[in-house]
Amino acid sequence: MQPSAPPATSSDASANANEPPRVVNEETNLSDLTDQEIIALSQRMNEDSEADKRPLLSPPAPLSVLREEYERGSAIFVKKIDALIKDGWKTVWRAKGDGDCFYRAFALAFSLRIISSLDPALEAQLAASKIQECVPRFLEAGFMEMVFEDFLETFSTFLQSLGTTPPPSAAQVLSQLQDPETSNSIVVLLRLVTSSWIRSKPEEFEFFLMGPDGEMLSVLNFCQNEVEACGKEADNVQIMALSACLDVPIKIAYLDASGDGSHVDMHSFGPEGASEVPLNLLYRPGHYDFLQ
């Protein structure tokens, strides 16, 4: 436990005015908190509670809304959002920050691309076939059929629903992906797709597999702990693997504190020269959303 700070008195109030605010967390002795710190802590707890109530995926919001959230925090982030808007990006579809945000954002972008294509029925069928092609790789990776069959059926049924006539609207797709059972099943299936691809091509990935502390991991340990486990954030390795396995190009705009804010770095993943329009995601440190 951190040592408690003595209560401030009127004589040292002026000296404390120029000091940075004390960090209040779960290790802080609550009996030492000032009234202002108690109020701030309560507000933060309410915000965290509201965050738990956020949908797994949210309706599109203008990038200007995201900009407003950073106006009092990061000038570089504001400049980069301005750069995105200038380049023609308009909206962000937010994924809940639960560690599965990359896979949820990918699923949403992937689905909306299908229903907006010239032939949604054909694209949905091709996508379902591509997922079915992963089954032999699942078995080679050692996944028992009873482990993945329910998730596979849920994802396949969802993909088939995208090819109906007329195809579902974006709002209807979003509603399906907001359903925890459907959304979580798709996340698990996409994690298995990603893991099985990495396991099948160890020579391509083994030198890039690191744990959260920077330690090198074996292919098996990396896949079990950093890919298959829900709630674990995706990094470049997972993105490259999923993109390659499903033959889906991905472009990610990196909204971070690098540079002077005049432009946003865009990183592309997937086969070079792909004819398909990439799925566009927005990365903020530790989080992914769908960008349009």
The set of catalytic residues is 98, 101, 287
What is the C-alpha separation between 88 and 70, in angstroms, rounded? 20
SS3 95: strand
Question: Which has the closest alpha carbon to 173: 59, 31, 72?
Answer: 59
Residue 92, strand partner residues: 61, 291
Q: In what order do the strands lie in the sheet with 91-93?
A: 61-62, 91-93, 287-291, 279-284, 250-254, 265-269
Question: Which has the closest alpha carbon to 133: 197, 209, 186?
Answer: 197
CA 69, 53, 285, 36 dihedral sign is: positive
**CA distances in angstroms from 9 to 2, 37, 79, 152, listed in the order given:** 21, 16, 42, 64
* In the chain, beta strands by DSSP E: 61-62, 91-93, 250-254, 265-269, 279-284, 287-291
